[in-house]
C-alpha cells in the first residue's frame, strides 16, 4: 500500500484521518479487547474500528458499557447496516494506515498469527478536544463489546457484511 504524501492530502482529510490520531483510536479499541480476552486483536476486526468510532452518527449509537451485547445493540440500530459495507470500504485505507503508523512507532505489533497487540503505555489516553476524547472512550468500549461478540466471522455476519 502506498501512502499519499501528507502535503497532497486535502486539509479536511488530513485533519480527520490524521494517522497518529486514528492509530490511537485503534489502539484504545485493541486495549479494550485485550483487557477482556487477554488475547491480541484479530486483524480482520481492525477495519471495523474507525467506521464506527470516528463518524458521530455511528459513535453516538455505540453501547455505553461493555454489558450491552452486539446483538442487542444491532437490534436497536438496524438503520446503521444500510450501506455499511460502502462506509467500511471507504475507510479501509485509513485503517491500514493507522496500523502501519502504529507498527512503525512501536505502539502496535502484529504477532505470528496476524493479530494486533497494543504496546506502550498502560494509562488512559486523553486529548485536548471533547470530541477526540469521546472517540477514544468509545473505542475502548467498542473493543470490549467486540471481545464478547464472537469470532470475526460471527461479527461480520451480525453486521451483514463480508470481510
Helix, strand, or coil (residue 108): strand
pLDDT score for 151: 95
d(CA 114, CA 135): 25
The Cβ of residue 119 has, within 10 Å, a number of other Cβ atoms equal to: 14
Q: What is the pLDDT of residue 4?
A: 63
pLDDT tens for each residue of 144-161: 999 999 999 999 999 999
89 falls in which pLDDT band (50, 70, 90)? Answer: very high
Quote the CA–CA distance of 120 and 11 in Å, as a whole number. 30
Q: How confident is the model at residue 84 (pLDDT cuts 50, 70, 90)?
A: very high
Q: Where are the domains of the chain?
A: 12-159
pLDDT of residue 21: 92
95-145 pLDDT, tens digit per residue, is 999 999 999 999 999 999 999 999 987 555 555 678 888 999 999 999 999
Residue among 149, 151, 144, 150 nearest 66 (CA): 144
Secondary structure class of 105 (helix, strand, coil): coil
pLDDT for position 123: 56
Average pLDDT over residues 72-100: 93
- Tens-place pLDDT, residues 4-54: 666 666 666 666 788 999 999 999 999 999 999 999 999 999 999 999 999
List, for residues 56-68, the tens digit of each pLDDT value.
999 999 999 999 9
Q: What pLDDT, on the 0 to 100 scale, is given for residue 14?
A: 61
pLDDT of residue 71: 93
Q: Given this model, what pLDDT does residue 15 score?
A: 63
3-state secondary structure of 125: coil
Amino acid at each position: 500500500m502506498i501512502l499519499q504524501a501528507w502535503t497532497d492530502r486535502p486539509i479536511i482529510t488530513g485533519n480527520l484521518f490524521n494517522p497518529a490520531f486514528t492509530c490511537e483510536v485503534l489502539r484504545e479499541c485493541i486495549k479494550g479487547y485485550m483487557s477482556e480476552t487477554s488475547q491480541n486483536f484479530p486483524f480482520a476486526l481492525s477495519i471495523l474500528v474507525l467506521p464506527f468510532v470516528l463518524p458521530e452518527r455511528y459513535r453516538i449509537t455505540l453501547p455505553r458499557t461493555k454489558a450491552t451485547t452486539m446483538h442487542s445493540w444491532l437490534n436497536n440500530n438496524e438503520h446503521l447496516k444500510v450501506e455499511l459495507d460502502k462506509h467500511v470500504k471507504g475507510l479501509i485505507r485509513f485503517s491500514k494506515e493507522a496500523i502501519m503508523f502504529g507498527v512503525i512507532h512501536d505502539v502496535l505489533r502484529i504477532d505470528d498469527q496476524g493479530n494486533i497487540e497494543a504496546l506502550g503505555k498502560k494509562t488512559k489516553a486523553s486529548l485536548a478536544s471533547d470530541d477526540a476524547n469521546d472517540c477514544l472512550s468509545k473505542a475502548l468500549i467498542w473493543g470490549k463489546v467486540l471481545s464478547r461478540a464472537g469470532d470475526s466471522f460471527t461479527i461480520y455476519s451480525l453486521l451483514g457484511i463480508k470481510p
